[in-house]
Amino acid sequence: MKVMTQEQIWQSVLAQIKLNVSSANFATWFANTRISDLEEGVLTVSVPNSFSKEWLEQKYKTDILKIIRSVDSSIKDIEYIIAPLKKSFSTNTVKINKEEEQLGFSEFEKDEETNLNPKYNLKNLIIGPFNEMAHAAGEAIIDNPGEVYNPLFVYGGVGLGKTHLIQGIGNRIRSLHLNKKIRYIPAEKLITDVVNSIRENKVEELKKEFKSIDVLIIDDIQFISGKTKTQEEFFHIFNVLYQNNKQIILSSDKHPGSIGALTDRLKSRFEGGMIADIGMPDLETRIAILKQKAEERNFNLSSSALEYIASNIQKNVRELEGALNKIIITEKITKKPATLDDIKKQLKNIISVKTKITTPEKIINTIFDFYNLDNQELFVNSRKKEFSRPRQLSMYLLKKELKLSYSAIGRKFGGKDHTTVMHSCSLIEREYAENQKFSQEVEMVLQRIYSE
């Protein structure tokens, strides 16, 4: 007799049972049952719930056994286990229903296992010159996680889609490689986890957990700056994952070289794979983004309106979305479509805030934070490069953004001579033109100054 597969055995049972019971009974008790195991003459059948289990065990046991033994006489007994139906994973369950202004708990949108938010997918990520390199690197990783570009380090300013990109990559890997264990974790969470594990004496358990991950995605890694213990633990986790060809994806708001208070060994590891930056989207891309966001929400926007919004909000994708929200809500309240003039009026606040002039204090404080400086005194006077460079940059930006006079700037830095200030400015200007990494850094500082 030819050997039947487990599936065929069960099919023959179902076929014969079906002849002898009513269709309602069959549908109620036999739906979603299957053979889950066959070992030493004991056949294990999985059933969806305990009602089915009791029923099959008590009412059909002899019938089923008889049929099975006629197919495969080596089977001596049947056992039933309850195995709930596995929910299939799909990224398409994302419902975009942002019409509701009612806010919900964002925690519920996350996927329990990976911590990824399914709303981020690469299909609705607009690709333009500003992010195509990062996106291409992501695509390569999706095909072969852990084998190319490890780690992938994505950096760029706020609201440009870093989180969208890296979570999108995670979701895509998840749908293509079902057996890979993926974990998304914001750096702040990593830090609290490490702190808690130290307090509860569970560091080893935490490390063990991390080491079982196939694709580790950490958002806003710059937050581990200055967190010595977290850096140390993360260094070990990183090494283990890296040596085992597990994919690591990191995002940050600055280049690894510019993350202050980061140990050199971590810095060099971050730089060891692929570093991709996300810049500002150009006008066409901004229009495309806006158009897509409007479509997602079934909202019609004239092309002149699209262009107006996109050309006036330049630095940040999140603000584009905010502007769109505002228009949609107003239209819902007033119940009539907005004209370009209405839109101009509505967005006056947002746009004029953007073009507003910043203050010297704001520029200096932002730079102070950006470079993680902690000493006002040294910032003003030290000749060490880690202090002098930010100081020179501050002078340059005070000149360029606020058009302060050289001597006024000098006074702000402990009464420096105006020639010193001029020298600093020209130094930065030259560096800005020649060194691409530095110019990106300056762009990021600028964006921070104007985005907060």
Partner 1 sequence: MKLTILTQDLKKGLSFTERLTGKNLTLPILNNLLIEALPNFLKISSTDLETGIEWWGLSKTEEEGKITIPARILVQVINNISDEKIEIEVKNDTLFIKTKTFKTQIKGYTSDDFPIIPKFSKEEFIEVNAQELKDCLVDVVDIASLSQIRPEISGIYFVFKKDVVNLVATDSFRLIERTLKSETYKNSFDEDIKFILSQKTTKEIINILQEKSGLVKIYYSESQILFETNLNEIDHPEINLISRQIEGNYPAYKEIIPKEHKTRVFIDKDSLIKQVKLAGLFAGKINEIKIKTIENNLEILSQDIELGENTSVVEASVEGEAIEVSFNYKFILDGLTRIKSNEAVLDFQGASSAGVIKEKNNESYTYVVMPIKK
Bond prior to 151 in cis (omega within 30° of 0): yes
What whole-number distance in Å separates Cα of residue 209 and Cα of residue 302?
A: 51
Site string for partner 1, 275-314 (x = CB under 8 A): ----------------------------------------
Binding flag, residue 349, partner 1 (CB under 8 A): no
Q: Between residues 60 and 387, which has the closer beta carbon with respect to partner 1?
A: 60
Q: Between residues 199 and 383, which has the closer beta carbon with respect to partner 1?
A: 199
- What is the number of other CB atoms lying within 10 angstroms of the CB of residue 377? 9
Question: Could you tell me the two tokens for 33?
Answer: 């049952």
Please tell me whether residue 229 adopts helix, strand or coil conformation.
Answer: helix
CB of 335 to partner 1, least distance (A): 8
Q: Between residues 334 and 339, which has the closer beta carbon with respect to partner 1?
A: 334
Q: Between residues 55 and 368, which has the closer beta carbon with respect to partner 1?
A: 55
What whole-number distance in Å separates Cα of residue 253 and Cα of residue 277?
A: 9
Q: Between residues 40 and 100, which has the closer beta carbon with respect to partner 1?
A: 100
Q: Between residues 50 and 302, which has the closer beta carbon with respect to partner 1?
A: 50
Binding flag, residue 58, partner 1 (CB under 8 A): yes
Q: Between residues 386 and 452, which has the closer beta carbon with respect to partner 1?
A: 452
Q: Between residues 85 and 357, which has the closer beta carbon with respect to partner 1?
A: 85
CB of 328 to partner 1, least distance (A): 11
CB of 153 to partner 1, least distance (A): 28
Q: Which helix (H) or strand (E) holds 275?
A: strand 274-278
CB of 189 to partner 1, least distance (A): 10
How many chain residues interact with partner 1 (CB under 8 A)? Answer: 30
* Rounded (5°) CA angle 230-134-320: 95
Binding flag, residue 357, partner 1 (CB under 8 A): no
Interacting positions 60-119 with partner 1 (CB under 8 A) = 82, 84, 87, 93, 95, 100-105, 107-108, 112
Identified binder of partner 1 from the candidate list 334, 375, 405, 407, rule CB under 8 A: 334
What whole-number distance in Å separates Cα of residue 294 and Cα of residue 302?
A: 11
CB proximity list for 376: less than 8 A, separation 6 or greater: none
Q: Between residues 143 and 205, which has the closer beta carbon with respect to partner 1?
A: 205
Question: Could you tell me the two tokens for 195?
Answer: 């702190």
- Helical H segments across 337-417, by residue range: 340-355, 360-370, 376-381, 385-402, 406-412
Binding flag, residue 325, partner 1 (CB under 8 A): yes
CB of 372 to partner 1, least distance (A): 26
Interacting positions 18-57 with partner 1 (CB under 8 A) = 24-25, 27-28, 49-51, 53-55
CB of 51 to partner 1, least distance (A): 5
- Which residues partner with 47 through β-bridges? 82
- CA nearest 313: which of 328, 323, 327, 299? 323
Sheet holding 34-39, edge to edge: 34-39, 42-47, 77-82
CB proximity list for 289: less than 8 A, separation 6 or greater: 126, 281, 310, 317, 320
Which residue reads 């060891």 in tokens? 272
CB 380 within 8 Å of CB 339: no
Question: Could you tell me the two tokens for 283?
Answer: 């006008």
Identified binder of partner 1 from the candidate list 59, 61, 76, 208, rule CB under 8 A: 59
* Contacts with partner 1, residue ranges (CB under 8 A): 24-25, 27-28, 49-51, 53-55, 58-59, 82, 84, 87, 93, 95, 100-105, 107-108, 112, 325, 333-335
